[in-house]
Amino acid sequence: AQKVTQAQTEISVVEKEDVTLDCVYETRDTTYYLFWYKQPPSGELVFLIRRNSFDEQNEISGRYSWNFQKSTSSFNFTITASQVVDSAVYFCALSERAAGNKLTFGGGTRVLVKP
């Protein structure tokens, strides 16, 4: 069965600090996809990134970067030079090829960026 664990429930930082969100997943499938979504205070879920299980290259998009390590079943997310607008709940999610396209979400990490 697929499972996603986000051990950090809440992280508080001061603006311009870096923050790293941990995500550990469990799956028996060899083909799977990992996602990060952002849920700002307004409530909508915003897609950030998708990685497939065969692509372990790290990715950087502006102030966001992702580190995918199959050896440790982790897909961590770093926000560099955080800003107040980064305050949100961030969810890591997994979909397995064998289970169709349903997403299994972690519990989420609330990030609070103080000015």
In angstroms, the CA 73 to CA 7 distance is 14
Pick 82 or 104: Cβ nearer another protein: 104
Pick 77 or 82: Cβ nearer another protein: 77
CB of 45 to another protein, least distance (A): 4
Residues 6 or more apart in contact with residue 114 via CB below 8 angstroms: 12, 13, 14, 15, 84
| Nearest-5° Cα angle at 80, 74 to 82 | 115
Contact positions vs another protein (CB under 8 A):
31-33, 35, 37, 43-47, 50, 52, 91, 95-97, 99-105, 107-108
CB of 5 to another protein, least distance (A): 12
Pick 25 or 82: Cβ nearer another protein: 25
In angstroms, the CA 21 to CA 108 distance is 9
